[in-house]
Amino acid sequence: MKRALKRGDVINVNSVLEHSSVTNTGFGSSLNAFGEVEIDASYIKSNGESGALSGLQSFSPTQELFRIYKEINELYKKQPNLTRPLSLHCSGLQKYMDIDVDDHLGSAKAKEIWMGYSGRQDQYPVEGAISDTIGSIVINSNDTTLATTSGGNFFKLPGRIGCAGIVGAAIYYEKIGDLEISCMCSGNGEQIIKYSLAQLIVTNVHLMDEGKYGPQLEKLLIGKDKDLYCGFVIVLKKSDGRIHLLYGHTTETFYFGTRVNDSTSVVLSCAEKEGKFTFGEYKLQ
């Protein structure tokens, strides 16, 4: 994460994380029921552009995500009467355009897990799995970009689309009045999808009282599901340039990092008690 924070844009930030065997995306992704990698990815830009892909098999899925959507954008400029697709699955898209396919994404550990529990997934120790979504928010003076990728859960059904492959679930952005709000979520993908969690947070946090974000976010989330298993980062950018970061989680641990100019920080937040809502905030600028 410290290496990633030295990079300047979303693609390069995420690439560092995706190339590591200790994250569940790119190299080291969880394997599905067939022992294959299927990566979900999505992005949002503050200019209103967004897109999502599922079934990626790329060493650098964020880079491939943006490359594919650049080609799609050019294609739909020539077809102004058609609405550009927001979400696509690569199994069908590969018949139409070249898409990066890497057969060496499974780490030795991932393959060992799959071989050891294939055919008896009900005995798989889920708590030992790496299943975290990774994502980045990059805020410049003129624009904001969010991007997230994830390999999903081990032994998932082939074709399953996780929260990182659905805009509004793992990531969301909206400008409300003079406030720009960005959010990224990780955790139980099905819960995150069910509640469109990132969108839910963004559309509610601007109504909350500053200084009382923690209890109000806890009320919002636990009110939806008392067993909600998630972590989130919210970034509030005000018109005067002030940037406020909020984070919370019900997961056992939650990692995130920040960079403001050349100053970087990596935070590991640990829950005081299993299932307890843990909250914190920083004034970044």
pLDDT given for residue 103 in this prediction: 87
pLDDT given for residue 276 in this prediction: 87
Mean pLDDT of all residues belonging to the chain = 92
Identify the active-site residue in 23, 62, 133, 251.
133
Report, as an integer, the average pLDDT of 10-19: 96
pLDDT at 72 over 60: yes
Q: Catalytic annotation on 144?
A: no
The strand ranges marked E within the chain are 39-45, 50-56, 87-89, 134-139, 144-150, 171-176, 179-187, 230-238, 243-249, 253-260, 263-270, 278-283
The CATH number, out of the four listed (2.60.40.10, 2.60.120.330, 3.60.40.10, 3.30.2010.10), of the domain defined by the range 169-285: 3.60.40.10
Query: Residue 93 contacts by C-beta under 8 Å, 6 or more apart in sequence?
Result: 53, 68, 99
Q: Kindly indicate the confidence band of residue 133, based on its pLDDT and cuts at 50, 70 and 90.
A: confident
Name the residue ranges covered by the structural domains of the chain.
1-167, 169-285
Q: Is 261 left (phi over 0), alpha (psi -120 to 50) or beta?
A: left
Q: How do residues 197-215 score in pLDDT, each as one tens digit?
A: 999 999 999 999 988 999 9
Q: How far apart are CA 114 and CA 108, in angstroms?
A: 10
Q: How far apart are CA 277 and CA 157, in angstroms?
A: 30
Report, as an integer, the average pLDDT of 34-45: 96
Q: How do residues 117-131 score in pLDDT, each as one tens digit?
A: 877 766 666 555 556
Q: How do residues 244-273 score in pLDDT, each as one tens digit?
A: 999 999 999 999 999 998 899 999 999 988
Sign of CA dihedral 159, 164, 168, 169: positive
